[in-house]
Homo-oligomer: A and B are copies of this chain.
Amino acid sequence: AETKKIAVIAGDGIGPEVVAEAEKVLHKVGEVFGYSFETEHALFGGIAIDEKGTPLPAETLEVCKRADAVLLGAVGGPKWDNNPKELRPETGLLGIRKELGLFSNLRPAVVFDCLKDASTLKPEVLEGTDLMVVRELTGGIYFGEKFRRQTEQGEEAVDTCAYNAAEVERIARQAFDIAMKRRKKLASVDKANVLETSRLWRETVIRIAEEYPEVELEHVLVDNCAMQLLRRPSSFDVIVTENMFGDILSDEAAMLTGSIGMLASASLGEGSYGLYEPVHGSAPDIAGQGLANPIATILSTALMLRLTFGYGEAADAIERAVAEVLDAGHRTSDIAAGRAEALSTTQMGELILNAI
């Protein structure tokens, strides 16, 4: 088979540790299924600021652009938190999304059986929760014009939120496509009773819906959605929303599953290109100690195989291996809940590797 090129960005904190396990899984899958992967490492985030003076060096962008997909660990940490904007890890994150055209962020929020007690929600409310937030990632208030100016009321700051019809169309289509492969329910979230961008959003989603007569569409106001996620999480299938609302709601949705340390995510652009990363952060407090749970990153790799390369069987094999290892009672400390003996990052990685 053709060699697939993967840019690997370990990043900061626990990033390098969890990415290392995911890479091993990738190569194992290659052996077992006869696929060939070539990985190229690049600096990004805090470590790139330290070593190259910028969170997103030009070489890193080139490595990503010549690859078929990107695997990202995590970026950021207190060390860089008070830096000026251009020297902060999240500036790199926004830059890479825009430069690679990653307009859509998929965040599955599912409840892992072994973690269902970890949620702060009652188990009967959580039962059956399996939703996917599709967040627009390169538009809206994140990327609109920003400035300060002097007014009679003192200094004023301005952010601009803009969306054009084409931007809404492509994310809406993608959300409908995803819904078609799932339970065929789509909740489009906006604030159409207040915002002009939301009214354009809603009109456009309604127009695209005509192409998907089988999908049951509901429009939910963002404040109401924040409530309904708590009241009836299992009733959602796919949620599609703009960048800022998606930032908030995808974190709320992830947290309510109780499984945030195990969740994978994909950021997709045109075609099959994608960037894959765990939902959890760089966890600087436990970095370098071999305590991190590599499962979210390993599952992000499975998403990559399925969504970018179309290697569904291999993705299934990884997901099955993870389930098997968890079913057998193996745990890293974050999910041990004091009951099981806690494995190290590499021990967990190895068990999953062997289960493939």
Residues of A within 8 A of B (CB): 88, 90, 94, 120-122, 125, 141-142, 144, 146-148, 151, 153-167, 191, 193-197, 199-201, 222-224, 226-227, 230-231, 244-245, 247-252, 254-256, 260
A247 touches B227 (CB 8 A): no
Residues in chain B near residue A256, CB distance under 8 A: 230
Q: Contact check, B161 vs A156: say whether CB atoms are below 8 A apart.
A: no
This chain: copies in complex: 2
Chain B residues whose C-beta falls within 8 Å of the C-beta of A159 in the assembled complex? 141, 160-162, 195-197
The reply to whether A166 and B193 contact each other, CB–CB distance below 8 Å, is no
Chain B residues closer than 8 Å to A195, beta-carbon distance: 141, 146, 159
Q: Are B155 and A200 in contact (CB under 8 A)?
A: yes
Closest-CB distance, A186 to chain B (whole angstroms): 20
Query: Assuming A120-B125, A147-B196, A153-B165, what are 5 further A-B pairs, CB within 8 angstroms?
Result: A141-B195, A157-B162, A159-B162, A160-B160, A231-B255
Contact A252 B226 (CB under 8 A): yes
Chain A interface secondary structure, helix, strand, loop or mixed?
helix
A156 is contacted by which of B88, B164, B226 (Cβ under 8 Å)? B164
Query: Could you tell me the distance in whole angstroms from the C-beta of A233 to the nearest C-beta in chain B?
Result: 8
Bound form: Cα–Cα A256–B195 in Å: 26
Instruction: Knowing A227-B252, A255-B230 are in contact, say whether A158-B122 is a contact too (CB < 8 A).
Output: no
**CB–CB A164/B160 < 8 A:** no
Contact A196:B226 (CB < 8 A) given known A121-B120, A154-B165, A156-B162: no
A94 and B194 contacting across the interface, CB-CB below 8 Å: yes
* A158 adjacent to B231 (CB under 8 Å): no
Which residue, A141, A144, A200, A201, has most C-beta atoms of chain B within 10 A?
Answer: A141
A-B contact pairs, 8 of them (CB 8 A): A90-B193, A146-B196, A153-B167, A157-B200, A159-B160, A159-B162, A222-B247, A230-B255
Q: Is the CB of B147 within 8 A of A155?
A: no
B251 contacts A226, C-beta separation under 8 Å: yes
Could you tell me the distance between the alpha carbons of A144 and B248 in the complex, rounded to whole angstroms? 21
Verify B199–A227 contact, CB threshold 8 A.
Answer: no
In whole angstroms, what is the CA distance A125 to B249 when docked?
Answer: 20
- Knowing A121-B122, A146-B195, A193-B88, say if A165 contacts B161 (CB, 8 Å): no
The distance in angstroms between the C-alpha atoms of A125 and B230, with both chains bound, is 14
Asked whether A90 and B226 contact (CB < 8 A) given A141-B161, A155-B200, the answer is: no
A356 → B minimal CB distance (Å) = 32
Q: Which residues of B contact A141 (CB under 8 A)?
A: 141, 159, 161, 194-195
CB distance from A130 to the nearest CB of B (A): 17
Looking at A122, A164, A256, which has the most chain B CB atoms within 10 Å of its CB? A164
